[in-house]
Structure 1
Amino acid sequence: MDVAVLFARQDSTYKALPDVDVYDIDRDARTFQGGMPIVAHPPCRAWGRLRAFANPRPDEMNLARLAVALVREFGGVLEHPAGSTLWSAQMLPRPGGARDQYGGWTFAAPQMWWGHKAEKATWFYIVGVGPSDMPPVPLVLGEATHVVQSRKRQDYRPHITKAEREHTPPELAAWLVEVARRCRIEKRIAA
């Protein structure tokens, strides 16, 4: 195993990928011991646009904070919805901004580029690999066939299901694992 995936769904597509160590709800990500770069999908409902309507478990916000700390320590990528309040709470760089003190930067892209039915605007916090060393990013033009939600105006398109909101498209999962595989962290020596 050379990449760990933390906070995956039980029926995650990551489980079909080679050399990936997957932590789902049954295999608690808080037990991850390190030693390899990670792909982190911490719960987002306490951090997203609709957080006022969410009912997260008391520990969910700390799972996202833990994911940030683990990405910073071991390298890898954290995925969350665009505009997640986790960015300001953890002082993560905004998309297009300068790198943080860990060398981390944020890439913004719609999951539609990797085959999601909805656009699903997403931010990726990445530590350990720079933009020029990333795997190729697909570009898909046009509109998605579905929406995460809508106000049912004239431009109404079908909604995706809750499961479709939570699943990572297989092409995106493979891409995120490749991003993590390219991550290298230089150990900092205390002065």
Structure 2
Amino acid sequence: MRNKIAALYVETNGGYFGLEGVDPWDIGRDARSYTGPYPVVAHPPCQRWGRFATGSTRKPGQYRIGEDGGCFAAALTAVRNYGGVLEHPKDSLAWDYFGIMPPSSMGWSRADSFGGWTCQVEQGHYGHFSRKPTWLYAVGIQPPSLRWGRSEQRLPAYAVERYGYEKARRIGVMAAVGGKDKTRIRNATPEAFRDILISIARSAILEAERAAA
């Protein structure tokens, strides 16, 4: 299929399943083994690259930075080899670790010697319940215009009622989410943002065709 892309490190039976032209790779398929040929949308695990990469405040040093079983490295290799886009939370330590320049200003900026682009965008613009600032890294594309800047702050009534307005605002909506499904809820990609990522990956196909013409 001409417009086919692969979606790597996605939730089983989640938002990338059942879409025409999208080949989803969940935990059962092990996206680290992906070897093309399609451009990718990659969502590598972020736990070992974020604010609590080495463990919670109660258990600091429990883990080591970057020890994610090679998931980010494989995702980065796939994007650089086949084109597409990778997403990670804002301030991901993986950018510095793998020599990617962090976003420098509003919009896209050059990221590395592989022809990569990077930017910061908030998923709140696309339907996420929180602002969820996100960094993107893309190769082989023409960077599209996205909804830049701060998205609307949404403080659900339960969080304000439980913590009070000031604390709810300070800890943020993401931290206020609890329960057994908290990780899935926090990590969920809104459909509108998913569709943006898919369109970015598909644009790599067009760029490759133009280069070959």
State the TM-score bracket (shorter-chain normalisation): 0.7 to 0.9
Aligned to 2:184: 163
State TM-score, norm by structure 2: 0.75
How far apart are 1:118 and its partner, in Å? 0.7
Specify the structure having the higher radius of gyration (Cα). Answer: 2
CA contact (8 A) 1:109 1:122 kept: yes
How far apart are 1:56 and its partner, in Å? 7.0
Report the Cα distance in structure 1 between the residues aligned to 2:18 and 2:119, rounded to whole angstroms.
26
Aligned to 1:137: 146
Render the CA deviation track for 1:67-99: whole Å, top value 9, x for unaligned. Answer: 111101111111000000000000112113434
Report the Cα distance in structure 1 between the residues aligned to 2:68 and 2:192, rounded to whole angstroms.
27
Report the Cα distance in structure 2 between the residues aligned to 1:43 and 1:102, rounded to whole angstroms.
22
Task: Specify the SS of the correspondent of 1:126.
Answer: strand
User: Which has a greater percent of helix?
Assistant: 2
**Which structure would you say has the larger RCO, counting Cα contacts within 8 Å and 6 or more residues apart?**
1
CA contact (8 A) 1:74 1:185 kept: no
Aligned to 2:35: 33
Aligned to 2:103: 95
**Where does structure 2 lack aligned partners over 5 or more consecutive residues?**
57-61
State TM-score, norm by structure 1: 0.83
Aligned to 2:75: 67
Task: Specify the SS of the correspondent of 1:52.
Answer: coil
Q: Which amino acid aligns with 2:194?
A: A
Report the Cα distance in structure 1 between the residues aligned to 2:69 and 2:126, rounded to whole angstroms.
27
Report the Cα distance in structure 2 between the residues aligned to 1:16 and 1:145, rounded to whole angstroms.
32
Aligned length: 179
Aligned to 2:198: 177
1:80-159 equivalent positions in 2, closer than 5 A: 80-96=88-104, 97-131=109-143, 134=144, 136-138=145-147, 141-145=151-155, 152=163, 154-155=165-166, 156=168, 158=173, 159=176
How far apart are 1:30 and its partner, in Å? 2.3
Aligned to 1:189: none
Report the Cα distance in structure 2 between the residues aligned to 1:69 and 1:180, rounded to whole angstroms.
15
Distance 1:56 1:7, change over 3 A: farther
Report percent identity of matched pairs: 34
Q: Please report the RMSD computed on the Cα atoms of aligned residues, expressed in angstroms.
A: 2.6
